[in-house]
Amino acid sequence: MKHVIALDVSKGKSTMVIYDRYCRCEFEGELHHTRVDFDRLHERIEEIIKLDGQAPEIVFEATGVYSKPVEAFFKDYGYTYSRMNPLEANLQMAKMRRHKTDMSDAHELAKTHFKMERESTYIQEEYYEQMRALTRYYDEIDEEMILLKSRMHSILQMSFPELEKLLTPNSALFLNIVQLYPHPALVLAHSKTIIKNRLKANTQKNLSLDRAEKKAITLLETAENSYPAIKATDVRCDQVRDYAARISALKEKKEALIKLMAELSKERKEYLVLRSIPGIGDSTACRIIGEMGDIRRFKNAKQLNAYVGIDIMRYQSGNTQYRDRINKRGNKHLRKILYFTIQAMLMLKQKHNHFVDYYYKLKTQPQRKPHKVAIIACINKFLKVTFQLLTHGILYDYETATN
């Protein structure tokens, strides 16, 4: 057995222990996440390599962003390591009696490493790390937009409620009109020609003069019949303008992120495979790659299912037996993306899509499956098919997939 280095990671530092091949502790102390301390650790590892003729085994528990500097150090120097899931680590180190300290956790990680065969963490290409970061950034923007839209809706119901009926609330034209005319009095203060010209000048996408004039006429007619709850001088009119401007900027940022992800992925095998599946566009394909990562680290589709969190959890004890349900311990972001992907496929009612066919098969059989159960079954089928396609580098084909 090699030397074992175990770290209990916390904010800005780690508690570190080093055990020799005979499971005896040689060192215990703190490792600050600084260049000086990492250089010392590198020197210590090099000494162990000279002594043993091989690199030590390194194990630590993933602690979100706090363990990233430690992981980056091991990647930079090419050391293999085992990054433990916190839940898995707790189960492996569980005892009837246990004193919980950072030092005791580090010792337990090292001791259990001698008893268990822990696989080395698969190190992905930088591409996958960047795609994950871009995907999470996209989701953060999406969540912020939902919040801002809710706030904007609340104020518009007091200032100019008819606007949301005239135009699609997500459209660029709607956001421009909210910034220009958040109150009917502001519309009535201008002539049709001025409104038309302002709409034309402030809409980035091509807006014809004819359409701009029609919108101006509609706005004037609607404003005349509107009875707002607040005045045009109310501060909330400025507030709703700000919300519309921020939503518009965030919308442009989302589009830019999708373009960037598509540009990074355009020659990648997984992108081409996912884009070949009916109902999956640039946004969905890139976000699936960002959350799924390098599929080569999964041995089979069952491992991929567990990663997504749709593997079945079963509980039975004596005469007590609960109904089977999905585990939900996997990647919730990927699970959400796949759920809405299947939903979108169903809404489009696409032909030559066997995931849609499978859904309706589950809904029409003698024991009809509930909607959500059928969706999860379709996700399971999607992952199995995708795993095979990506593993073998084959594009989706309806006839082949059906067989």
Residue 287 has pLDDT above 60, yes or no: yes
DSSP 66: G
Q: Is the pTM of this model over 0.95?
A: no
Residue 328's φ and ψ, nearest 5 degrees, are: 65, 25
* pLDDT class of 323 with cuts at 50, 70, 90: low
The owner of tokens 């194990």 is: 59
Residue 189 has pLDDT above 70, yes or no: yes
More confident residue, 251 or 118: 251
Q: What is the mean pLDDT of the chain?
A: 89
pLDDT of residue 402: 53
List, for residues 218-245, the tens digit of each pLDDT value.
Answer: 999 999 999 999 999 999 999 999 999 9
The identity of residue 377, as a single letter, is A
- Alpha carbon distance 123, 120 (integer Å): 9
The answer to whether 178 and 236 are in contact (CB under 8 A) is no
| Burial group, residue 232, by CB count within 10 angstroms (0-12, 13-18, 19+) | middle
- Alpha carbon distance 238, 232 (integer Å): 9
Q: Of 56-60, 83-87, 331-335, where does mean pLDDT reach its minimum?
A: 83-87
pLDDT of residue 26: 92
The domains found in the chain, sorted by start residue, are 4-123 (3.30.420), 128-263 (1.10.287), 268-402 (no CATH)
List, for residues 13-65, the tens digit of each pLDDT value.
Answer: 999 999 998 889 999 999 999 999 999 999 999 999 998 889 999 999 998 89
pLDDT of residue 2: 84
Structure tokens at 279: 């109902």
More confident residue, 221 or 398: 221
* pLDDT class of 201 with cuts at 50, 70, 90: confident
Residue 213 has pLDDT above 60, yes or no: yes
Query: What separation in angstroms does the CA of 388 have from each of 278, 384, 403?
Result: 17, 6, 14
Query: What separation in angstroms does the CA of 352 have from each of 8, 271, 285?
Result: 51, 20, 19
- Alpha carbon distance 217, 329 (integer Å): 55
Q: Starting at the edge strand that comes first in sequence, how are the strands of the sheet with 13-19 ordered?
A: 25-32, 13-19, 4-10, 57-61, 82-84
